[in-house]
C-alpha cells in the first residue's frame, strides 16, 4: 500500500489532503518525495511565519530540548515565564496570559474567562453570558468555539450547539447594537476573517465596537489566531486599528509550527480567573515556548516593515492580475493575509493547477484563493508565484 492508501485505511477522513507527500521544507520552499520543489504561499495554514525550519528557531528548540521537555504547569519553567512577559508587554501594562496548545483552546479560554467575568459583573437582573459573534466567522472546532463560529457548514451534525452565542454582520454596526441586551457580556471578532474568505473589518467599525464595549461595560475579544503574530505587518493585528481589545487570542505562527496558543487579557479580565478555574497539561510546553521566544526575536520592526513592503508589491501584482482575468472579482486582505475572490465556485481546481506548477496556495469558502505565505518571501518569490497564477488563470476551464 502507498501512503495515500495507508492514510485512507487508518486515518479518519476529516481532511481533503492535496496530492503532495512532503520530504522536507526549508524557508519558503517545500520538496516532495520526488525532489520537486514548491514555493509555499500558505506556510501550513499561516503557521510558519518566519519560514520552514528557521535556523534560530531550531537552535532555540534544541537548547530547550537539552534542558527539559516537560515538567507540567505545577512548577516554573523559566522559558514559559519569559515568553509570558514578552507577549503581554507587547500589549498593555498589567496584562496577563494563559498558554494552551491551539487556536481553539485559546478561544475556549477567552470564552470561559468572559463567562466568569459576566457572573462577577452582572446586570441588575443577574449574570451576563451572551457573546456577540459574527456571521462568517471561524473560531475553532471545540464545542464552544464551534458554537461561536458563524458558519452553518461547520455545525451540521453537531447540534445541539451551546447557546448564548448570537451573530451580527461584520462592518454593520447596527446589527451589533440590535443584539445588545442585559445578558450581553462580550463581543468576539476576528479583525480579518480568515476561513470566512479574507473579509477585512473597517477601522471605523472596530473603533465603534471598542466604544460600545466601553459604554456598555462589555469585553472586546479579538481572535487573532490567523491574523496575528506579524501577518498584517504589525505584531498584533489590532495595532492597525488604533484600539486595544480586552482579550487577544493568538496561536498558529506563535511558535512557528509547534503547538502553542495564548489568551492575553487586560488586568480587569485576567484577575477573574483564580486557582482551579482553568488549566492544561501541555499548555505552554517549554519546547513550544522556546520556539516562540525565537520567533519574537526575529519579528522585529525591521522584519515586519520588510514583510509589509513585499505585501504591497504582491497586492499590486494581484490587482494587475485582476485587470487581466475577468474571473477575479476582488482582491482583499491586509499585509500578507490576502485573498482573491473568484467568480466561480471551484477555487480548489486553481489550487491544484498551481500546485502542479510548483506553487502552494489554498482555497477557502469555495471561491476565495487564500495566500498566507511565510513573512520572509521576496519580490522574486512574488514574481514567480504571480507568473504561475497568471498561466493557470489563463488556461483554466470549468
Ligand atoms: C481565526 C481562527 N480562530 C481559531 C482557529 C482554530 O485554531 P486551531 O486550529 O489551532 O484550533 C483558527 C484556525 O484556522 C482560526 O483561523
Domains and CATH numbers, the chain: 3-53+301-395 (3.90.1150.10), 56-298 (3.40.640.10)
Q: How far from the centroid of its chain's Cα atoms is residue 189's Cα? A: 12
203: confidence class by pLDDT, cuts 50, 70, 90: very high
Instruction: Output the residue whose Cα is nearest ligand 1's atom 8.
Output: 103
pLDDT value of position 300: 96
pLDDT value of position 50: 98
Instruction: Find cell 527539559 and name the residue.
Output: 68
Residue 268 above 90 pLDDT? no
Q: pLDDT tens digit string along 240-266?
A: 999 999 999 999 999 999 999 999 999
State the Cα–Cα distance between residues 389 and 72, nearest whole angstrom. 47
pLDDT value of position 191: 98
Q: Residue 73: which of 225, 288, 256 has the closest Cα?
A: 288
Dihedral pair phi/psi, residue 10, rounded to 5°: -110, -15
State the Cα–Cα distance between residues 267 and 248, nearest whole angstrom. 13
**If you measure from the C-alpha of residue 140 to the centroid of ligand 1, how many angstroms do you get, rounded to a whole number?**
5
State the Cα–Cα distance between residues 289 and 84, nearest whole angstrom. 9
Work out the angle at residue 300's Cα, subtended by the Cα atoms of residues 298 and 301, and round it to the nearest 5 degrees: 150
**Ligand 1 test: best mutation among 111, 226, 236, most atoms within 8 Å of CB?**
226
126 strand-pairing partners: 123
Contact between 91 and 307 under an 8 Å Cβ cutoff? The reply is no
State the Cα–Cα distance between residues 218 and 212, nearest whole angstrom. 8
> Considering the chain, what is the average pLDDT of its residues?
97
Mean pLDDT of 35-48: 98
370 strand-pairing partners: 339, 362
- Please name the residues in contact with 75: beta carbons below 8 A apart, sequence gap of 6 or more: none
pLDDT value of position 95: 94
**Ligand 1 test: best mutation among 104, 247, 261, 337, most atoms within 8 Å of CB?**
104
**If you measure from the C-alpha of residue 2 to the centroid of ligand 1, how many angstroms do you get, rounded to a whole number?**
31
Instruction: Return the exposure string of 51-71: e unless at least 16 CB atoms fall within 10 Å of the residue's CB, then b.
Output: bbebeebeebbeebeeeeeee
State the Cα–Cα distance between residues 393 and 359, nearest whole angstrom. 13
**If you measure from the C-alpha of residue 102 to the centroid of ligand 1, how many angstroms do you get, rounded to a whole number?**
7
**If you measure from the C-alpha of residue 372 to the centroid of ligand 1, how many angstroms do you get, rounded to a whole number?**
14
State the Cα–Cα distance between residues 306 and 50, nearest whole angstrom. 12
The size of the chain, in residues, is 398
Q: Which atom of ligand 1 is nearest to the CA of 142?
A: 11
398: confidence class by pLDDT, cuts 50, 70, 90: confident
396: confidence class by pLDDT, cuts 50, 70, 90: confident
Pocket of ligand 1 (CB under 6 A): 102-104, 107, 138-140, 190, 194-195, 223, 225-226, 251
pTM, two decimals, is 0.98
State the Cα–Cα distance between residues 224 and 304, nearest whole angstrom. 16
> Pairing between strand 130-134 and 184-189?
parallel
Q: Residue 387: which of 357, 367, 366 has the closest Cα?
A: 357
Amino acid at each position: 500500500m502507498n501512503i495515500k492508501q495507508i492514510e485512507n485505511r487508518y486515518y479518519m477522513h476529516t481532511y481533503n489532503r492535496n496530492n503532495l507527500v512532503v520530504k522536507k521544507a526549508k524557508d519558503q520552499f517545500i520538496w516532495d518525495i520526488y525532489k520537486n520543489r514548491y514555493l509555499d504561499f500558505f506556510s501550513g495554514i499561516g503557521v510558519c511565519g518566519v519560514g520552514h525550519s528557521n535556523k534560530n528557531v531550531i537552535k532555540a528548540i534544541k537548547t530547550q530540548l537539552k534542558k527539559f521537555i516537560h515538567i507540567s504547569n505545577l512548577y516554573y519553567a523559566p522559558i514559559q515565564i519569559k515568553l509570558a512577559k514578552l507577549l503581554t508587554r507587547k500589549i498593555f501594562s498589567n496584562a496577563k496570559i494563559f498558554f494552551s496548545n491551539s487556536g481553539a483552546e485559546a478561544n475556549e479560554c477567552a470564552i470561559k474567562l468572559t463567562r466568569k467575568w459576566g457572573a462577577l459583573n452582572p446586570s441588575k437582573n443577574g449574570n451576563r453570558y451572551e457573546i456577540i459573534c459574527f456571521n462568517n466567522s471561524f473560531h475553532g472546532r471545540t464545542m464552544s468555539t464551534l458554537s461561536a463560529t458563524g458558519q452553518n457548514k461547520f455545525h451540521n451534525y453537531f447540534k445541539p450547539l451551546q447557546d448564548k452565542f448570537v451573530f451580527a454582520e461584520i462592518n454593520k454596526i447596527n446589527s451589533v447594537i440590535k443584539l445588545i441586551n442585559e445578558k450581553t457580556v462580550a463581543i468576539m471578532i476576528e479583525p480579518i476573517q480568515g476561513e470566512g474568505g479574507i473579509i477585512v473589518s473597517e477601522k471605523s467599525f472596530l473603533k465603534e465596537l471598542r466604544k460600545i464595549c466601553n459604554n456598555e461595560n462589555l469585553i472586546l475579544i479579538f481572535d487573532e489566531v490567523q491574523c496575528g503574530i506579524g501577518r498584517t505587518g504589525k505584531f498584533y493585528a489590532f495595532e492597525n486599528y488604533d484600539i486595544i481589545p480586552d482579550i487577544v487570542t493568538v496561536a498558529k505562527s506563535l511558535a512557528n509550527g509547534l503547538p502553542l496558543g495564548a489568551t492575553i487579557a487586560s488586568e480587569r479580565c485576567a484577575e477573574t480567573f483564580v486557582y482551579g478555574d482553568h488549566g492544561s497539561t501541555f499548555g505552554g510546553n517549554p519546547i513550544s515556548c522556546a520556539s516562540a521566544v525565537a520567533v519574537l526575536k526575529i519579528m522585529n520592526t525591521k522584519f515586519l516593515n520588510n514583510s509589509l513592503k513585499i505585501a504591497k508589491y504582491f497586492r499590486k501584482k494581484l490587482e494587475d492580475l485582476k485587470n487581466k482575468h475577468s474571473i477575479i472579482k476582488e482582491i482583499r486582505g491586509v499585509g500578507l493575509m490576502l485573498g482573491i475572490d473568484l467568480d466561480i465556485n471551484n477555487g480548489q481546481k486553481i489550487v491544484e493547477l498551481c500546485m502542479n506548477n510548483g506553487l502552494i496556495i489554498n482555497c477557502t469558502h469555495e471561491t476565495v484563493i487564500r495566500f498566507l505565505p511565510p513573512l520572509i518571501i521576496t519580490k522574486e518569490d512574488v514574481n514567480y508565484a504571480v507568473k504561475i497564477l497568471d498561466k493557470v488563470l489563463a488556461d483554466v476551464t470549468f
